[in-house]
Structure 1
Amino acid sequence: MSHLVPRRTVLATGAVSAVALPVLGQGSARAADDGVFAHGVASGDPLPHRVLLWTRVTPTPASTPGSGQGPTVRVHWEVARDAGFTRVVRRGHVSTGASRDHTVKVDVDGLDPATWYHYRFTYGGTTSRTGRTRTAPARRATPDNLRFGVVSCANLQAGWFSAYRHLAARDDLHAVLHLGDYLYEYGPGEYGYGPSNEDIRPHEPAKEMVALGDYRQRHAQYKADPDLQELHARYPFIATWDDHEVTNDQWKAGAENHQPDTEGDYRRRRARAHRAYDEWMPVRMSGTADLRDGTRLFRRLRFGALAEISMLDLRTYRDEQADQTGVSDPERSITGAKQLDWLRDSLMRRGPQWNLVGNPVMIAPVDFGTLPDELTGAVNDVTGLLPEDGVAYNADQWDGYTADRNRVLRHLLNHSVEDVVFVTGDIHSGWACELPKDASDYLYENPARVTAGVEFVCSSVTSNNLKDITGDPTGVTSTAVEEGIKANNRHIRYLNFDDHGYSVLDLTPERAQMDWFVISDRADRDATVRWDASWVTRSGTSRVEPADAPVGGAR
C-alpha cells in the first residue's frame, strides 16, 4: 500500500443457529486468567477433518513477548463438541518456550466435517478462555450457503477495532477472511488517525519494527486487543499477508520503507517478520503448523462442492514496482512464476462451483482520466493510483504488473472458467467491479462485452481513507472523486472512499453477494455500525448488480 504522507511519520450447510452458538465472552474461562493467556485464543485454516488452534502462554513475569526469556513449558489443549467440555473429542499437550516466543500452534485432526467445536488451553492451573471453531464441509458436500466475514488493513494507531467487535457479534458466519495488513510496522506518530497522524493508541515497541523482538511485541500488542480477541475466539481465520506485516511496499528483494544503511539486510528483516507471523498467526505455513519449515503462504482451502478459496501471497515473489514505462514488461511478475502456475491450476480445477481468490491488492484496472491537482496527492495516499505526474496506474497492485493480469484473465476466458470472485483488501475503500477483457468495451453500451470475473474489495478496519486524508468531513470531495472514477471506468460499479468497517461475503449455488458495513468513527471506542451497500454476482454471468438488502436481514 503506497502512502503520500512520509512513510516513516493494513462453514456450514445453511445458516448458523443463534440458539446453538452462545456468545463467548471473557468469562468463558473456567479459571481466572491472571495473564497466563493474555493474548487470547484463535483458530484457522479449517479443513473437513482438521483445524489449526493457537494461543500464547506467559509462564513467568519475565516471559514477555519478544523478550527471549522464560522456561520451556507444557501446555494442554482440549477440543469438545460443547462449551461445557462434557463431550471432549480430542486432547493433547505441546511444549513451547522462548525460542518460539511461547506461542502454541496445534493442527488438530480426527474431526467431523461442517461441525462447530469448542477448544481451550491449560497451563499451571490456569485455563484460557474458550474458543469456538468450525471445520469445512466434506469434499463432496453441497452446503446451502457459505458466509465469510471479510476484513483488511487494521492499523492500531489509527483507531479502535470496532469493526472486529461488530463482526464478532454476528452469529451467522462460518469463517473470517483476513486479506492482509493485519498489523502495521510504523512507530508512534507515523501513519495514525487522519491528516495529522494522531495516535489513537501508540504502537509498542515505540519504534518501527525491524528486529525479531519488535515484530513479536507488535503481534502481541494487536493480539491483546479485546475486539480482535473476541473475533478470533468466535470464528476460524483464513489469512494472508500484504506489505505491512513486513514493511510498506515490499517486494522480493526490498521495500519502500526499508533503508539498508540503518536497518540492515532486507531479506533478513523479512525472515524475522515471517518467523513472527508464523509464530503468532493461526495459519499453516508451507502446509504445516510447524515453525521454520518454510515460508509459503499461498494455499487452497475447499468448502465442499460450493467453493474453493485460493489465498495469494503477492509480496514475497514479486518484482520491484516499476515506473510507467515498465508496468507492461512481460518479464515482470507480481506472483512469481511458480505461484502464477499454481493459481492458473486452481482456476482450472473442475470441482467446487465458486472460485474465490483471496487477493491482497486490487486486480481490476483503474484509469483516472483527469483529476484536479489538489486531489492527486490525497487519492494517491489512499490508493497509490496516481503518481505525481498523474499517470493513471497503481504500480503496487496488478495495474503495475499488467502482463500477469492479462495471463490470469486470458486463462479464465480461454478455459471458460466461470464464477470467479476476487476478494480484495489493501486500498482502504469499498469497490464492486467487473473484470473486463478490454476496459474500452465499457466506454459505450456493448451487450457483447466480455468479462472474466468480478472483484469485491473490502474497506479498511481503521487505516486512513480519502475523507480522512483530505480532512473533508462532508465527504463532498471523495464523492466527486468516486463519481469521476466510475465515469472513467464503467466496469467499476460501486466505490466508497469515505468509510471504515467490514464486509460479509455470502455464497449460494445461485449467487455470490458482498455486503459492506461501516462504522461511525474509528476514534470512538463505542462506534456504531450500519449497512452501506450490497452487490451481487449471479452464477454464470461475471457481472455485478446492486442488491436490495444484506444477507441475514442485518442492517
Structure 2
Amino acid sequence: MSDHSLSRRGFLRTSSIAAGVGVVATLPARANAAGAVFRHGVASGDPTPDAVILWTRLTPTDDAIPGSGQGPDAAVGWAVSTNAAMSSTVASGTVTASAASDHTVKIDVDGLLPDTTYFYRFTAVGQSSPVGTTHTAPADDADVEQMRFGVVSCSNWESGYFGAYRHLAQRTDLDAIIHLGDYIYEYKTGGFAGKYGVIRTHDPVHEIVTLADYRIRHAQYKTDPDLQAAHLGVPWICTWDDHESANDAYDGGAENHQPATEGDWATRKANSVQAYYEWMPVRAAGSSTNRHLYRRLRFGTLMELSMLDLRTYRSKQVMPYQGREVDSPNRTITGAEQMSWLTGGLVSSPTQWKIVGNPVMITPTLIPPLDPQTTEALTQLLGLPAAGVSYNADPWDGYTADRARLLDALRTNNIDNTVFITGDIHSSWACDLPVDAANYPAAGTVATELVVTSVTSSNIDDLTKTPEHTVGRVAEEAFKALNHHVKYVDLDTHGYGVFEVSKTAARMDHWYLTAKEDPNSGIYLGASYRVESGSQRVTPA
C-alpha cells in the first residue's frame, strides 16, 4: 500500500533458484506433450441444475502458444455424454478457437438434468482431449442430504508443488472444488518464494503486466498435471483475490503496481480480467454492460453459495493504526451494489445454510505481543506494520463499517447458519463471528468462519525459516489466548480443506501436506471443526 507497504507477501525477495524435480503425471502423457493440441487440459465449472461451463485451450499449431497472438482459427467440437465412453451424447456442437481469445474455448452447456454426472470431450485438428467428468447441481426444490467440496486458495507456482490438487483429484466423494482466490501469482521470479527458495520458475520471469503476460502465466499453471487432474474430475467454483491482478489490489490501484513503470492501473486490471475470464471455467453474472464475478449458486433446499469479489470495488487500504479511516462508513470492501446483493440474498435465502465464499478474513483479530522474530514474521504475513497493531487493514478488519452492515443484517433479521469459508491468509482458522469481539461470548455470535490454508504460498515457518510447528505454535496459542472467538489456528502448514454441509452441521476437515517442496508429498488430517445447525458456534469435530 503505497510507500507503507502492508503486503503480507511482498516483503520477501530472493534471487536464489532451487532445482526442482519433475512432477509425476496424473493425466495421459500427451496432454502436456509438445505437439499436443489440448496440452492445457480441460475443465468445468459453475454447475446449476441445468447447465455447466466447459473449458479447454487449443494449440492448433506449434506457433500458437499462449499470449503469442499467433495461430489460425480452428474448429473445436465438443460433446457431453452420460457415459465415459462418450457413446450416449446428450449435447454437442462446434465452436471456433481463435487468437482473439488466446485459443481458449468456453461453452455454457444448458438443457441438462439436475444432479446428474456427465462426461465431456473436445476434438480438434485430428486429436481428442481427455474425457472430463462434471456434475450438475440439484434442483432448487430438491431435498438434499449432503454436499461436499474441496476448498483451496493461494497456489503459488514458485513456492512448491501442487500436491494439494493431486490429493483432491484422487478423491471420489467431492461434488465440486471451490477456489477462493490467488489461483495464480503475478510476481517476477523470486518475488515471493518460501524457505526453500524458488522451487519452480515462473513464466514469464518478469512481473506480469500486459495481456500477453497474464495469458502466459495462466497457461503455465494449467500445464501442471496435478492441477489438470483436479480440474478433470469435478466442476470448480472460483473467485479471484488480488494476485490474479496485483498484490493488495483495490478499485484504483494496487500495492504492487507502479504507474511510472507499469502504466495505468485500469489497463493492467482489464488485462488481468480478460485473461482470467478466458482461462478459467467461470460464468460471469450481470449483463454485458455490467459483468461481474460475484454470483450465487444454489444446491437444493440445503444451501446457497455466495461467491464474493473483494478486490474490484474496495476502497484503498489505509494503515491499520488510522482508526478513524478504518471505521469510516464511506469506505467499502464490497462496493454498495455487491453489499446490497449479498445482504439481500442472505436475508431472503430459502435454503437451510448460507455459505459465503469469502476471499479475505472477516473475523476480527488482535495481534498479541510475541518474541521479536515471530512478531516480525506474523505482521508481514498478515499485512501489518512491523511494530504490530490490533488488526489487519487488508481483510474486513480494515473495513469495519461494511462488516458491521453485513453482520447487523444477519443479526436483526435473525438469520442463522451463515458460514464464511475463506482463503488468503495462508493458514487455517475456525472462528465464531461475535456481535462484539470485546464482549465475547456474552454478546453472542452471528455467524462462523472456516479458513483454509494455502496450497503452497508462504506462511510463518516459511517466513521465519524454521521447522513447522515450532515458532508457529507459540503464535497460535497467543492468538487464541487474546482472541477467545478464535477456536483453532494453524500458521505453518499447507494443503486444502474438505467442506461438508449436511442438515445437521457444516464441517471443515483440514488436510495438510507433509512437504510442499516434494512433488510426491503425502497428506494427513490435521484438524476438523464443525458448526451445528442453529448454533452459530464452531466446535472440534
TM-score w.r.t. structure 1 length?
Answer: 0.91
Instruction: Indicate the residue corresponding to 1:221 in structure 2.
Output: 220
Give the Cα–Cα distance (whole angstroms) in 2 for the partners of residues 8 and 240 of structure 1: 27
Contact 1:40/1:223 (8 A) holds in 2: yes
Equivalent position amino acid for 2:315 in 1 = D
Deviation at 1:405, TM superposition (A): 0.4
Cα distance change of structure 1 residues 293 and 212 upon mapping to structure 2, 3 Å threshold? farther
Question: Which residue of the other structure, out of 498, 518, 537, is the alignment partner of 2:531?
Answer: 537
Instruction: State the identity %.
Output: 50
Secondary structure (helix, strand or coil) at the match of 1:404 reads helix
Q: Deviations over 1:422-456 (max 9, x none)?
A: 000000000000000011223xxx5x431110000
Cα distance change of structure 1 residues 280 and 415 upon mapping to structure 2, 3 Å threshold? same
Question: Which residue of the other structure, out of 299, 302, 306, is the alignment partner of 2:298?
Answer: 302
Equivalent position amino acid for 2:395 in 1 = Q
Instruction: Indicate the residue corresponding to 2:423 in structure 1.
Output: 425
**What are the residue-to-residue correspondences of 1:167-316 with 2, within 5 Å?**
167-194=168-195, 198-286=197-285, 295-316=291-312
Give the Cα–Cα distance (whole angstroms) in 2 for the partners of residues 526 and 497 of structure 1: 22
Q: Deviations over 1:81-128 (max 9, x none)?
A: 100011110000111200100000000001000011000000011000
Q: Deviations over 1:278-320 (max 9, x none)?
A: 10000012358xxx86541000000110000000000000000
Q: Deviations over 1:178-233 (max 9, x none)?
A: 00000000111211122x6x111000011100010000000000000000000000
Contact 2:304/2:349 (8 A) holds in 1: no
Give the Cα–Cα distance (whole angstroms) in 1 for the partners of residues 519 and 526 of structure 2: 20
Q: Deviations over 1:146-189 (max 9, x none)?
A: 00000000000000000000011000000000000000001112
Deviation at 1:467, TM superposition (A): 1.0
Give the Cα–Cα distance (whole angstroms) in 2 for the partners of residues 395 and 42 of structure 1: 35
Give the Cα–Cα distance (whole angstroms) in 1 for the partners of residues 13 and 268 of structure 2: 16
Q: Does 1:318 align with 2:314?
A: yes
**What are the residue-to-residue correspondences of 1:19-418 with 2, within 5 Å?**
26-27=27-28, 34-194=35-195, 198-286=197-285, 295-323=291-319, 324-325=321-322, 326-384=325-383, 386-418=384-416
Deviation at 1:370, TM superposition (A): 2.0
Q: Deviations over 1:327-384 (max 9, x none)?
A: 1111100001010001001111241110000000000000123223332220022222
Cα distance change of structure 1 residues 117 and 29 upon mapping to structure 2, 3 Å threshold? farther
Give the Cα–Cα distance (whole angstroms) in 2 for the partners of residues 469 and 293 of structure 1: 43
Give the Cα–Cα distance (whole angstroms) in 2 for the partners of residues 100 and 307 of structure 1: 34
Give the Cα–Cα distance (whole angstroms) in 1 for the partners of residues 381 and 346 of structure 2: 31
Contact 1:4/1:380 (8 A) holds in 2: no
Give the Cα–Cα distance (whole angstroms) in 2 for the partners of residues 536 and 475 of structure 1: 23
Give the Cα–Cα distance (whole angstroms) in 2 for the partners of residues 543 and 492 of structure 1: 11
Contact 1:517/1:531 (8 A) holds in 2: yes
Instruction: Indicate the residue corresponding to 2:489 in structure 1.
Output: 495
CA RMSD of aligned residues (A): 1.8
Contact 1:8/1:257 (8 A) holds in 2: no
Instruction: Indicate the residue corresponding to 1:511 in structure 2.
Output: 505
Give the Cα–Cα distance (whole angstroms) in 1 for the partners of residues 300 and 346 of structure 2: 16
Give the Cα–Cα distance (whole angstroms) in 2 for the partners of residues 418 and 409 of structure 1: 11
Cα distance change of structure 1 residues 7 and 209 upon mapping to structure 2, 3 Å threshold? farther
Cα distance change of structure 1 residues 474 and 309 upon mapping to structure 2, 3 Å threshold? closer
Give the Cα–Cα distance (whole angstroms) in 2 for the partners of residues 350 and 3 of structure 1: 35
The worse-fitting range, judged by mean Cα deviation, of 473-482 and 489-498 is 473-482
Give the Cα–Cα distance (whole angstroms) in 1 for the partners of residues 510 and 369 of structure 2: 28
Cα distance change of structure 1 residues 199 and 352 upon mapping to structure 2, 3 Å threshold? same
Q: Does 1:3 align with 2:8?
A: yes
Give the Cα–Cα distance (whole angstroms) in 1 for the partners of residues 26 and 467 of structure 2: 35
Contact 1:434/1:453 (8 A) holds in 2: yes
Structure 1 unpaired stretches of 5+: 10-23, 548-555
Cα distance change of structure 1 residues 474 and 398 upon mapping to structure 2, 3 Å threshold? closer
Deviation at 1:5, TM superposition (A): 5.0
Equivalent position amino acid for 1:412 in 2 = L
Equivalent position amino acid for 1:525 in 2 = P
Question: Which residue of the other structure, out of 467, 471, 478, is the alignment partner of 1:477?
Answer: 471
Cα distance change of structure 1 residues 355 and 119 upon mapping to structure 2, 3 Å threshold? same
Q: Deviations over 1:382-429 (max 9, x none)?
A: 222x32232121110000000100111111000001100000000000
Deviation at 1:72, TM superposition (A): 1.2
Equivalent position amino acid for 1:303 in 2 = F
Q: Does 1:441 align with 2:439?
A: yes
The worse-fitting range, judged by mean Cα deviation, of 323-332 and 210-219 is 323-332
TM-score w.r.t. structure 2 length?
Answer: 0.94
Contact 1:179/1:240 (8 A) holds in 2: yes
Instruction: Indicate the residue corresponding to 2:21 in structure 1.
Output: none
Cα distance change of structure 1 residues 160 and 293 upon mapping to structure 2, 3 Å threshold? farther
Cα distance change of structure 1 residues 189 and 382 upon mapping to structure 2, 3 Å threshold? same
Cα distance change of structure 1 residues 479 and 152 upon mapping to structure 2, 3 Å threshold? same
Structure 2 unpaired stretches of 5+: 1-5, 15-24
Give the Cα–Cα distance (whole angstroms) in 2 for the partners of residues 264 and 106 of structure 1: 33
Deviation at 1:35, TM superposition (A): 1.3
Instruction: Indicate the residue corresponding to 1:550 in structure 2.
Output: none
Give the Cα–Cα distance (whole angstroms) in 1 for the partners of residues 449 and 297 of structure 2: 19
Deviation at 1:8, TM superposition (A): 6.4
Cα distance change of structure 1 residues 66 and 410 upon mapping to structure 2, 3 Å threshold? same
Secondary structure (helix, strand or coil) at the match of 2:527 reads strand
Give the Cα–Cα distance (whole angstroms) in 1 for the partners of residues 245 and 73 of structure 2: 28
Contact 2:208/2:214 (8 A) holds in 1: yes
Contact 2:9/2:192 (8 A) holds in 1: no
Q: Deviations over 1:241-281 (max 9, x none)?
A: 00000010000001000000000001100000000001000
Instruction: Indicate the residue corresponding to 1:13 in structure 2.
Output: none
Deviation at 1:321, TM superposition (A): 0.3
